[in-house]
């Protein structure tokens, strides 16, 4: 459970992100405990969820690898001390520059999303006289129980190569001179709490691996992506995601043989609950039939509610007692700049500190300078 050191926080300019490193460490310890019996399970952290150097360093110290989707993410992971041999690189649009960077750094694997990309990697690694490690990202056409914007494993999504094209994939791999085929990759979406979705992913992966091996390819690595969801309604009661149930799905349903490793790319479930966006109330305004709490944080600082109608708990950290209903909004000149409609909060006044909870994932990394607002800084519970 995150406790907020109000007197210490109150002296800081708002808005800012506040990270509970103790909770991050507890989360990472839980992952270690749940994978302890499976030395073949290798967890990579999906840097896109939060690339804050303070968090990356802790994650590196706990031995995780990194899942990157841009050259800058590869650099951030390396900068935090994550070994290049533990970095995987996905993304449908890797540029030549990014592929060359990955080759020069010696990353462990490119998760290749098209036959067109495979040909480019083969050519670029050939020019360097090296061999690129690649895994093929397949699109298993699984509808995950999550919102459409963050579902990635359906036929109509741009990600991966259809499992229907497996013959062409096998032939293309055999035709490449400058790649080393490592294995398979799938990622079906994000904020998934229905374990049945991951069971279907494991089953699809079993079938895909069998088909590739029947075609004479050796599958060393099986990457099942990320996607484990968290409870946005209960940031303190469910501070650590259900890693036990999640890893049990793969222990029970994924077929592996000696020598194979299973890779995970978890983002949200590692960092979401440890982060809050701390803001100050600028005005409490009476509107037409509604009362608005106007914060000094806006959709540019945390875009998830505006972009996905995502729920985040909003908590007044300055206690006055009472309970009132407010629409909590930011100062940005858009009607979508709303953090929550009809939110019950304690009596709220100008100058109060407010925490928007579960903001550690896809908060800071999706921030922008819209309205030329500055990027919010960040602090942790370890800062003086």
Residues binding ligand LLP (CB under 6 A): 46, 48-49, 67, 90, 150, 152, 187, 190-191, 225-228, 265-269, 304, 308, 362
Among 357, 233, 238, smallest CA distance to 302 is for 357
CB of 94 to ligand LLP, least distance (A): 12
Strand, helix or coil for residue 201: helix
What's the maximum distance between 2 C-alpha atoms anywhere in the chain?
70
CB of 217 to ligand LLP, least distance (A): 21
CB of 263 to ligand LLP, least distance (A): 10
State which residue, 67 or 352, has the beta carbon closest to ligand LLP. Answer: 67
C-alpha 368: how far from chain center: 18
State which residue, 28 or 228, has the beta carbon closest to ligand LLP. Answer: 228
CB of 68 to ligand LLP, least distance (A): 10
Among 66, 50, 56, smallest CA distance to 107 is for 66
Angle at Cα 226 formed by Cα 199 and Cα 377, nearest 5°?
150
CB of 135 to ligand LLP, least distance (A): 11
State which residue, 265 or 296, has the beta carbon closest to ligand LLP. Answer: 265
Report residue 208 as tokens.
């895909």
CB of 365 to ligand LLP, least distance (A): 8
State which residue, 152 or 204, has the beta carbon closest to ligand LLP. Answer: 152
Report residue 150 as tokens.
């963050």
CA distance 266 to 246: 11
DSSP string, 307-342: HH-----EEE-S-----EEEEEE-SSSSTT-EEEEE
Report residue 249 as tokens.
């799905």
H or E element, residue 44: strand 41-46
CA distance 134 to 90: 10
Angle, helices 195-214/243-253, rounded to nearest 10 degrees:
30
Report residue 194 as tokens.
């229905």
State which residue, 15 or 160, has the beta carbon closest to ligand LLP. Answer: 160
CB of 113 to ligand LLP, least distance (A): 9
CB of 332 to ligand LLP, least distance (A): 18
CB of 111 to ligand LLP, least distance (A): 7
| Paired residues of 356 in beta bridges | 277, 314
State which residue, 185 or 280, has the beta carbon closest to ligand LLP. Answer: 185
Q: At a CB cut-off of 8 Å and minimum separation 6, what does 207 contact? A: 163
Cβ 165 vs Cβ 209: under 8 Å: no
Q: How far is CA 258 from CA 38, 223, 255, 261, 295, in A?
A: 12, 16, 10, 8, 55
State which residue, 128 or 309, has the beta carbon closest to ligand LLP. Answer: 309
State which residue, 94 or 268, has the beta carbon closest to ligand LLP. Answer: 268
State which residue, 108 or 316, has the beta carbon closest to ligand LLP. Answer: 108
CB of 127 to ligand LLP, least distance (A): 27
State which residue, 86 or 304, has the beta carbon closest to ligand LLP. Answer: 304
Q: How far is CA 199 from CA 179, 206, 248, 249, in A?
A: 31, 11, 10, 6
């Amino acid at each position: 459970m995150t406790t907020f050191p109000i007197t210490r926080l109150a002296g800081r300019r708002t808005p800012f992100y506040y990270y509970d490193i103790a909770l991050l460490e507890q989360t990472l310890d839980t992952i270690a405990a749940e994978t302890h019996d499976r030395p073949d399970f290798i967890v990579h952290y999906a840097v896109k969820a939060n690339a804050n150097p303070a968090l990356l360093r802790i994650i590196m110290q706990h031995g995780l690898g990194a899942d990157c989707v841009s050259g800058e993410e590869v650099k951030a992971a390396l900068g935090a001390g994550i070994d290049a041999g533990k970095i995987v690189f996905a993304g449908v649009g890797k540029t030549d520059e990014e592929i060359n960077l990955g080759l020069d750094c010696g990353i462990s694997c490119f998760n290749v999303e098209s036959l067109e990309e495979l040909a480019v990697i083969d050519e670029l690694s050939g020019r360097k006289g090296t061999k690129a490690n690649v895994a093929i990202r397949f699109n298993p056409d699984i509808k995950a129980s999550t919102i459409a914007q963050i579902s990635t494993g359906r036929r109509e999504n741009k990600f991966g190569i259809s499992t229907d094209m497996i013959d062409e994939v096998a032939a293309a791999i055999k035709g490449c001179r400058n790649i080393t085929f490592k294995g398979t990759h799938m990622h079906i979406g994000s904020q998934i709490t229905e374990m049945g979705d991951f069971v279907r992913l494991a089953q699809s992966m079993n079938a895909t691996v069998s088909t590739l091996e029947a075609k004479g390819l050796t599958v060393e690595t099986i990457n099942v992506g990320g996607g484990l969801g968290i409870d946005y309604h209960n940031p303190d009661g469910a501070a650590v995601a259900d890693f036990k149930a999640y890893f049990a799905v793969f222990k029970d349903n994924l077929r592996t043989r000696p020598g194979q490793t299973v890779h995970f790319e978890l983002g949200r479930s590692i960092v979401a609950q440890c982060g809050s966006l701390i803001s100050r109330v600028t005005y409490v305004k009476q509107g037409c039939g509604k009362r608005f709490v106007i914060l000094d944080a806006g959709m540019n600082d945390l875009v998830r509610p505006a972009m996905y109608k995502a729920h985040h708990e909003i908590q007044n950290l300055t206690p006055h007692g009472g309970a009132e209903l407010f629409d909590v909004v930011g100062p940005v000149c858009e009607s979508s700049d709303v953090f929550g409609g009809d939110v019950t909060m304690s009596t709220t006044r100008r100058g109060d500190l407010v925490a928007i909870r579960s903001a550690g994932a896809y908060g800071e990394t999706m921030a922008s300078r819209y309205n030329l607002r500055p990027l919010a800084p960040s602090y942790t519970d370890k800062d003086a």
